Amino acid sequence: MRKLNNLIQPHWHMALYVYSTAVIMTIIYDFGGHLGLSVIYRNYAGVLLFTCIMLGAGVSYAGARLAGALPLRATKIGLLLPLLWYLKELWMAIKIYGFGAGIYTGLQGFYLYYFGLIFMVMGVFHLCLECYQKTFVKRYKAMWRCSAYFFVPLLLFLGIEVLGWFFLGIDILFFRGFLEGYRLIFM
């Protein structure tokens, strides 16, 4: 185990812990009934899985930053679990609806807002880390890095949605806009 731990850079350790937890909780949540686990334990696993999916990016980002990664590299590390979860969801949609419709389903607004929210979570963790470093770490007293770029994707998607409502009278990224696009492409 020590040899494996030495092969993996310390920046990735927290992300891999969060990812391993998410994989184990997915197995318990999805297949726990076949293993004889009660519903209450599977529900606890589901709550922990949801926590990993929603907050795992921020925890991975913070772990990478505390291990010495720069913000851009830590952002890439933080996006590991959300990206893998999105690809799993995309694969499930492709299995259900076929390739073209499955890809289009993966482009709907819920997933775009999910990634906007993930960036916002990483921005909040970044802001907390900056406050911690500015307060307690002497060599960072004069530094202050910006966390505003984490909020740009969510603001962009919200702006597109508001413009769609204002000019077209429909939501572009959610239900009605999604169905109109689906009808135009696949029907």
The predicted-structure confidence for 73-125, as pLDDT tens digits, reads as follows 999 999 999 999 999 989 998 999 889 888 888 887 788 888 888 999 998 89
What mean pLDDT, rounded, does the chain reach?
A: 84
pLDDT at position 5: 64
pLDDT at residue 170 is higher than 60:
yes
Residue 141 pLDDT > 70, yes or no?
no
Q: Quick check: 80 and 60 in contact, CB under 8 A?
A: yes
- Which range is most confident: 98-102, 131-135, 136-140, 144-148? 98-102
94 to 18, 30, 83, 185: CA distances (angstroms): 26, 19, 16, 16
**What spatial distance separates the first Cα and last Cα of the chain, rounded to whole Å?**
54
Residue 28 has a pLDDT of 93
Are 18 and 59 in contact by the 8 Å Cβ rule? The answer is: yes
Is residue 142's pLDDT more than 60? no
Angle at 47 between CA 43 and CA 51, to 5 degrees: 165
CA atoms within 13 A on the CB side of 176: 8
Q: Quick check: 180 pLDDT over 70?
A: yes
pLDDT of the residue at 78: 92
- Residue 107, SS3 per DSSP: coil
Residue 159 in tokens: 């702006």
User: Is the pLDDT confidence value at 69 over 80?
Assistant: yes
Q: Are 15 and 28 in contact (CB under 8 A)?
A: no
**CA–centroid distance for 129 within its chain:** 19
Which is more confidently placed, 178 or 130? 130
Task: Round to whole Å and give the CA distance between 30 and 81.
Answer: 18
Domain that holds residue 147: 2-186
36's torsion region: left (phi>0), alpha (psi -120 to 50) or beta? left
119 near 153, Cβ under 8 Å? yes
pLDDT band at 25; cut points 50, 70, 90: very high
For residues 78 and 58, the answer to whether their CB atoms sit within 8 Å is yes
- Residue 138 pLDDT more than 80? no
**Position 1 pLDDT exceeds 80:** no
- Is the pLDDT at 146 greater than 90? The verdict is no
SS3 67: coil
- Which single residue is written with the structure tokens 């806009």? 177
How many domains in the chain? Answer: 1
Instruction: Considering only residues 3 and 59, tell me which one the structure prediction assigns the higher pLDDT.
Output: 59
